[in-house]
Structure 1
Amino acid sequence: MLDTGVAADAVRDSPQRPRPALRAVLVGLVLVVVPLALIVPLLGLGPDGGDSPASAAPASAADPFARLLVALPVVLAACYLAGRLARRAGQPEVIGEIVAGVLLGPSLLGLLWPAGFAWLFPPAVVTAVNTLAQLGLIFFMYLVGTEMNLDSVRRRGLVAATVSQVNLALPALCGIALALGMYPSFGEGVGFVPFGLFLAVAMSVTAFPVLARILADRGLTETPLGALALTCAAIGDVVAWCVLTVVTALARNGDPSAVIVTIALTLAFVAAMVFAVRPLLARLLSGLTPAATLPILLGGVMLSALATNEIGIHPIFGAFLFGVIAPRALPSVTEASHRMQSVTVTLLLPLFFVYTGLHTRFGLIGTDARRWAWCALIVAVAVLSKWGGTAVAARLTGTDWRESLSLGALMNCRGLTELVVLNIGLQLGVISPTVFSMLVIMTLVSTIATGPGLSLVARLRRAPA
C-alpha cells in the first residue's frame, strides 16, 4: 500500500507529458506554420522587380495550354452532338462533324460572337490545334491505307478499271475547264498548271472511308454494287494521290528539273517501301503483342511522313503508303490499328474539322452574286461530272442502268478525303481562301447528296419498268 501511495503522489507531482497527437500539432506549428509566416516579410525585403518581364506581363495574359484544355472539350462536344444529329437525319456522322467544324469557325461563331470566338481560339490555341490536327491526319491516312484491298482491286478486272478511270478523267477535264474560267479572277499569283491540276484533283476525289461507312450502314458492303464501288474508289484515290503529288511538287518547286527530281525520289521511296520495308516490317512484327506493335506502327507512320515531307511532297503520302504496306494479316497489327483509330477518330480528327472550319470563311464570298454563281457552277460541275461520268461508264461496260446510277451516286461522295486535299491546296497557296470556301461548300453538298441519291435510285428500282 505504501508503494502504491507513493507512486500515486509521484504521478500527481510530476509534470503532464504531452500526448502523441498534441505533440504532432506542436511540431507542425513550429516547423511549418512559423516558416510560412516568415515568407511574406522576407519577400518584402527583396529588391523591386517591377521591370522584370514577368511583372511587365499583364495579369490577364492567357495561358495557351489552359485555353486549349477549354477548347478541346468544346470541339469534342460539338462534333459529337452534330454527328449524332447527322446520323438521325440519315447522313454519316462525318457530315455532322464537318458542319460542326464550320460552325465553330468565323463563318458562324466568329460572326455571331466575335469576342467569344477570339477568346476560345486565340492564335496560340489555333497553332496547337493545327499541330494536333496534322498529327491526326497522318494517322488517319495510315488507317485509310490499311483499308485499301489491293487484291480486290486486281480481281475486279476491266469493269472496275474502266469505270474508275472515267470516274477520274471526266471530272478532271471539267475541273481544268473550270480553272480556265476561274484563273483570271481567283488565280492570285499561282501558276495556271498547278491551279488547273489542283481543281482537276478536287473534282475527281472520292472519300473512300466515308463511302465504306455509307455502304456498311446500308448493308451494301458485301453486294456486287458495294464491292465494285469500293474497288473503283480505291483505284481512283490512288491515282488522285499520285496527281496531287505532282501538284505538290510543282507548287513547292517551280523549276521543272526540281519537279523531276522530286518525282524520281518519290518513286524510289515507293519502291523502297514496297520491296524493302514491307517484308522487313512483316518479320519484325511477327509474334509481337499489340502493346509492342503499336509503338512500332506509330513510329513508322511518323518516319514515313517525315520522309515524304523531306522529299518535297505532303507528309500524308508517306503515312498512306505505310498503311498500304502494313502486314494486316497479323492479328497484332489489326488490334494495334484499332487502338490507333480510337484516339484518332475520337480526338484528333475533330480537331482537323475545326481547323478546316477556322479557314472556311463564307463571308469572303459575301453578297457578290458573281462569286456565288461560280460557287454554284463548281457544285453543279462536280456533281454532274462525277455522277454522270461514272454512271455512263458503268452502263457501257454492261452494268444495269439502275446499278450504274447507284454507283455514280456513291462515287460522288467526297467527304473527309476532299477536305484533306483542300487543306493541302490552301497550305501550298495553290488556292485562295475564297476558292477554298467555295470548294468546302461543294464538298458538303456532294457528300450530303450521296444518301438521298441512293434512296432515289432505289425507289426507281422498285418502280415498274
Structure 2
Amino acid sequence: MATVRTRDARDTSPETGSRGRAVFLYGALVILPAVAVVLLLAVRGHAAGGDRTSSAAAPGPDVYGRLLLALPVILLVGQGCAALCRRMSQPGVVGEILAGLVLGPSVLGLLWPFARHWLLPDELMPPINVLAQLGLVLFMFLVGHELDLRRVRGRGHALLVVSHVGVAVPMLTGVVLTLGLYGPFAPAHMDFTPFALFVAVSLSITAFPVLARIVAERRLGSSTAGSMALVSAAIGDVTAWCLLAVVVTTARHSSLLGVGRVLLLTIGFCALLWLVVRPAATRLLSGGERDGRTARLPEAAVLPVLLVGILLSALATDRIGVHAIFGAFLLGVITPRRPAVARAAAGVRSVTETLLLPLFFVYSGLRTEIGLLSGGWRTWLWCLLVLVAAVVAKWGSTTAAARSVGLPWEDSMLLGALMNCRGLTELIVLNVGLDLGVISPTLFTVFVVMAVVSTVMTSPAVSAVQRFVRSRATGDTSSPNLSMTH
C-alpha cells in the first residue's frame, strides 16, 4: 500500500507543478499586460482629452440604430392601419397612407411632439426616402409584369381616347382653379405659369400603383374595365410625367428644348426594350431549360439578373428625366411570363409590399401638416373646392370618354371610378412640387387631403357600381319571368 501511495504522489506532483506554472504564466503574460494597456490608455486619454474637449464636435445621432428602431414601428403602425381599413372595406394601401399621417406632424407631432422627433428625427428622412423609392421601383416592375395586354388588344384607339380625355379635362379644370389659388397659395417667388401647370398636372393624375392594388384586391384584373383602367392609367401617367417634365423645366427657367429631348429619349428607350431586351429576356429567363442549342440561365441566377435589369431600367428613365418607376414598369411589361420569373417575382413582392412600399406613405405623411389648414374657413373652402373639381373632372370625363368609344354604361362608370384614384402617384408628384418650391406647404397639404379622400372613395364607388350592375341584371332577368307568368 505504501508503494502505491508513493507512486500516486509521484504522478500528481508534476501535474500540480504544471498547473502552477500555467497560472503564473497567464498572470504574467495576459493579466499584467492587459492591466498595463488599460492604465496607459486611461492616462494618455485623460492628458490629451483635456485640450480637445472644448473643440470637439458633439457626436451626431446614431442614424443606423434609430432606423432599426423606426422601421419596426412603421411596419406595425402601417399593418395595423391597413388591417383596420380592410375591415372597413377599404384597400390596405389607404391604411398605409393614414399611418404616415398618424406618425407625422398631423397627429403624433401634434399630440406628442417629443415622441415624434425622437422616433423619426430629421436625420432619418434621407435613408427612409431612399428605401421608399427603391420600393416604388420594385413594385412598379411587379405591376408591369402582371399586366396582361392581351385583354385590351384591339382597343388601342379606345384606350388612347379614354386616357387622354381623362388627362386633358382635369388639366383644364386645374388651370381654371389656379386663377383663384395663385394669390393665397403660391410661393412668393413662383411665377404663374409653372404654378398653373403644376396644379393642372396634379388634378390629372391617376395613382397607377394604388389602382393596381385595388384592382388586384377586388379581383377586377380579368374584367374589361379593370384591364382598361390599368392600361389607361399607364398611358395617362406617362403623359402626366412628360407634362411634369415641362413643369420642372419651366420652374427651373431652362429651355423647352429639354422637353423634346426627354420625349425622344423615352421613345428610344421603349424601342430598345421592345426590340432588343425583350427577345434576349425571352431566351434567357427560363430557369435552366434548353430550347434547341440555346442555353438558359440557371434558375438560381434568374432573380439576380432580374434585379439588375430592374435597377438599370429605372436608372435609365431617371436619367432621361421621366421617372425611375416607369423604367421598372416598362421592363415588367416586356419580361416573359415564365414559371422561373414568376417565382423570382414572388420573392420580390414579399419584401417590397411588406417592408419598402409602406415607407413611402410614411415619408409623405411626415411632410403633411393638417394644422396648416387652420387658417380660416376660406382655406377649408378651397380644400373642398379642389376635391370636388378633381373628382368631377376625372370621373366625369373618363366615364363620358369610355361611353363615347362604345363601352357599356356599367363598364364606363366602373372605369371612371377606378381612374379617380390618385393616392400614390399623386403623392410622388406633390413631393416633387414641394421640393422644387412650386407649391407651398399649405397647398401641398390641400392636395394630400384631396389624394387621400379620392383614394378612399374608389373602393366604395366600385362597390356601388357593381351593386347597380347586379341589380340591373336581376331586373333584366326577372322581367321575362314576370311576362311569362302573366
Give the shorter-chain TM-score range: 0.7 to 0.9
Separation in structure 2 between the aligned mates of residue 227 and residue 261 of structure 1, nearest angstrom:
31
Asked if 1:395 corresponds to 2:410, the answer is no
Deviations 1:193-229 (A, max 9, x none): 4333332332222233333333343343323333343
SS of alignment partner, residue 155 of structure 2 = helix
Q: Name the structure 1 match of 2:6.
A: 9
Q: Name the structure 2 match of 1:84.
A: 83
Asked if 1:405 corresponds to 2:404, the answer is no
2:241/2:322 contact within 8 Å kept: no
Q: Name the structure 2 match of 1:49.
A: 49
Pick one of 429, 443, 458 that aligns with 1:450: 458
Separation in structure 1 between the aligned mates of residue 425 and residue 299 of structure 2, nearest angstrom:
28
Give, in angstroms, the shift of residue 66 of structure 1: 0.9
Over 3 Å counting, the alpha-carbon distance change for 1:297 and 1:163 in structure 2 is same
Task: Please list, as runs of the form range in 1=range in 2, the aligned pairs for 1:115-264 lying within 5 A after superposition.
Answer: 115-188=114-187, 189-252=189-252, 254-264=254-264
Asked if 1:300 corresponds to 2:309, the answer is yes
Amino acid at match of 2:197: L
2:194/2:247 contact within 8 Å kept: yes
Amino acid at match of 1:141: M
1:250/1:259 contact within 8 Å kept: no
Give, in angstroms, the shift of residue 97 of structure 1: 0.3
Separation in structure 1 between the aligned mates of residue 148 and residue 243 of structure 2, nearest angstrom:
21
1:245/1:314 contact within 8 Å kept: no
2:140/2:209 contact within 8 Å kept: no
Amino acid at match of 1:39: V
2:152/2:227 contact within 8 Å kept: no
Amino acid at match of 1:301: I
Separation in structure 2 between the aligned mates of residue 33 and residue 336 of structure 1, nearest angstrom:
55
Over 3 Å counting, the alpha-carbon distance change for 1:53 and 1:194 in structure 2 is farther
Give, in angstroms, the shift of residue 192 of structure 1: 3.5
Over 3 Å counting, the alpha-carbon distance change for 1:318 and 1:54 in structure 2 is farther
Separation in structure 2 between the aligned mates of residue 197 and residue 148 of structure 1, nearest angstrom:
30
Q: Name the structure 2 match of 1:266.
A: 266
Structure 2's unaligned 5+ residue stretches are 287-295, 477-486
Deviations 1:289-346 (A, max 9, x none): 4431222222223233333333344333433333333x23233333222222221211
SS of alignment partner, residue 178 of structure 1 = helix
Give, in angstroms, the shift of residue 30 of structure 1: 5.4
Over 3 Å counting, the alpha-carbon distance change for 1:329 and 1:219 in structure 2 is closer
Over 3 Å counting, the alpha-carbon distance change for 1:27 and 1:253 in structure 2 is farther
Q: Name the structure 2 match of 1:71.
A: 70
Deviations 1:133-188 (A, max 9, x none): 22222222333333344444433344444333322222222122222332233332
Separation in structure 1 between the aligned mates of residue 36 and residue 455 of structure 2, nearest angstrom:
68
2:249/2:256 contact within 8 Å kept: no
1:289/1:332 contact within 8 Å kept: no
Aligned pairs, number: 460
Structure 1's unaligned 5+ residue stretches are none
Asked if 1:311 corresponds to 2:320, the answer is yes
Report percent identity of matched pairs.
Answer: 49
Separation in structure 2 between the aligned mates of residue 179 and residue 256 of structure 1, nearest angstrom:
22
Separation in structure 2 between the aligned mates of residue 333 and residue 13 of structure 1, nearest angstrom:
75
Give, in angstroms, the shift of residue 387 of structure 1: 1.6
Deviations 1:32-54 (A, max 9, x none): 44443333322233233234479
Separation in structure 1 between the aligned mates of residue 81 and residue 122 of structure 2, nearest angstrom:
25
Separation in structure 2 between the aligned mates of residue 253 and residue 305 of structure 1, nearest angstrom:
26
SS of alignment partner, residue 449 of structure 1 = helix
Q: Name the structure 2 match of 1:106.
A: 105
Separation in structure 2 between the aligned mates of residue 64 and residue 389 of structure 1, nearest angstrom:
47
Separation in structure 1 between the aligned mates of residue 93 and residue 319 of structure 2, nearest angstrom:
31
Q: Return the TM-score normalized by structure 2.
A: 0.84
Task: Please list, as runs of the form range in 1=range in 2, the aligned pairs for 1:11-50 lying within 5 A after superposition.
Answer: 11-12=8-9, 16-18=13-15, 31-46=29-44, 47-50=47-50
Over 3 Å counting, the alpha-carbon distance change for 1:319 and 1:193 in structure 2 is farther
Separation in structure 2 between the aligned mates of residue 224 and residue 134 of structure 1, nearest angstrom:
31
